[in-house]
């Protein structure tokens, strides 16, 4: 379990760090950058699969719908919600919405996996959510901002929950490969229509460097680490680790020259730690059913 915890925590740390890095892309053609990000990530994942001899299988039947759902919710609509929501709400509002995801995963995750939600994990998720909200702060918003925050919350949860039915056959690596090429194609079409073919020529050096970090760490590496954690621990327990993302964002902000966190942030970090300790204190009474095939344990040994 320790390896799985490390995988999930590392993936969420990369995701949290992306908040600060994404600020460098404020003036860039966002759709084009996203398309290139996912295309590069997909290429890296395919090369990794070939180098390690892991077999990627073609989706069939309803698997296309599940994978498409991951892309549409967790990548396409999620990014739109962040952009549109930021026009009506402070970033902290959207951050708190994402911080509520552990609670939904603690309830809906076990149901998708054919189990009954565990009361202890629900309580732990509530604590992690409260701590993450303290780290993020509350912020100001209007009615439209709250609506986009709700969309952001649902899409963040969809990124994990909609992958559960296909993790068994495709494994973390396969889900990551298929979702990234589909996202690259979708954002590519949007970029061509909305930003024009020459948008790539408007990218500056800092845009490219930020895009490389997003492609390698936040996508190619973090996707596989996160789905490995979900597969081994179950989505409910893995969902608790999303509380690490806002902490990582705060640390990254300081590393990039921001102010030191205030008392509320430190209190939030402590509360998140309490929630994680409760959630991972001991093995659950009924162990989460691993979503495993012979090729499922793709990246983490």
Q: For the chain, how are helix, strand and coil distributed in percent, rounded to 5?
A: 75, 0, 20
Looking at residue 300, its pLDDT comes to 36
Helix, coil or strand: residue 230? helix
* Tokens, residue 149: 């925050």
Domain contains 180: yes
What whole-number distance in Å separates Cα of residue 92 and Cα of residue 249? 11
* C-beta separation of 210 from 100 below 8 A: no
Look at residue 267 and tell me if it is in a domain. yes
In a domain, 23, yes or no: yes
Phi-psi region of 159 (alpha: psi -120 to 50; beta: other; left: phi over 0): alpha
DSSP 174-199: HHHHHHHHHHHHHHHHHHHHHT-GGG
Q: Would you give the DSSP letter of residue 88?
A: T
- Contacts of residue 301, defined as CB under 8 A and 6 or more positions apart, other chains included, come to 3
Domain ranges, residue 175: 2-279
* Per-residue model confidence (pLDDT) at position 15: 79
The number of distinct structural domains making up the chain is 1
Cβ 42 vs Cβ 181: under 8 Å: yes
Q: How far apart are the first and last CA of the chain?
A: 11
pLDDT of amino acid 284: 46
Does residue 284 belong to any structural domain of this protein? Answer: no
- Measured between alpha carbons, how far is 183 from 273 in angstroms, rounded to an integer? 34
Q: Which two tokens stand for residue 181?
A: 């090429």
**Structural domain includes residue 297:** no
Instruction: Give the Cα separation of 111 and 255 in Å (integer).
Output: 40
In a domain, 300, yes or no: no
Residues with Cβ < 8 Å from 182, sequence gap 6 or more? 67, 68, 71
Which of the residues in the chain have pLDDT under 50?
284-287, 289-290, 292-301
Rounded distance, CA 275 to CA 94, Å? 21
């Amino acid at each position: 379990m320790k390896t799985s915890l490390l995988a999930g925590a590392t993936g969420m740390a990369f995701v949290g760090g992306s908040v600060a890095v994404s600020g460098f892309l404020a003036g860039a053609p966002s759709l084009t950058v996203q398309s290139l990000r996912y295309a590069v990530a997909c290429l890296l994942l395919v090369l990794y699969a070939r180098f390690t001899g892991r077999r990627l299988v073609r989706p069939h039947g309803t698997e296309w719908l599940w994978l498409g759902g991951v892309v549409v919710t967790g990548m396409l609509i999620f990014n739109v919600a962040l952009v549109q929501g930021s026009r009506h709400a402070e970033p902290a509002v959207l951050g708190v919405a994402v911080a509520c995801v552990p609670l939904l995963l603690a309830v809906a995750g076990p149901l998708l996996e054919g189990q009954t939600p565990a009361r202890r994990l629900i309580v732990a998720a509530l604590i992690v959510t409260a701590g993450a909200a303290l780290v993020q702060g509350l912020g100001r918003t209007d009615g439209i901002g709250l609506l986009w925050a709700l969309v952001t919350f649902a899409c963040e949860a969809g990124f994990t929950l909609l992958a559960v039915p296909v993790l068994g056959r495709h494994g973390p690596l396969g889900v990551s490969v298929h979702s990234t090429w589909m996202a690259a194609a979708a954002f590519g079409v949007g970029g061509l229509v909305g930003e024009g073919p020459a948008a790539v020529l408007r990218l500056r050096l800092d845009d490219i460097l930020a895009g490389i970090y997003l492609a390698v760490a936040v996508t190619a590496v973090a996707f596989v680490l996160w789905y490995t954690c979900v597969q081994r621990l179950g989505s409910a327990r893995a969902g608790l680790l999303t509380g690490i993302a806002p902490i990582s964002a705060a640390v990254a902000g300081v590393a990039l020259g921001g102010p030191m966190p205030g008392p509320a942030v430190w209190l939030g970090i402590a509360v998140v730690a309490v929630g994680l300790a409760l959630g991972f204190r001991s093995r659950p009474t009924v162990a989460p059913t691993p979503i495993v095939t012979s090729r499922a344990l793709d990246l983490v040994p």
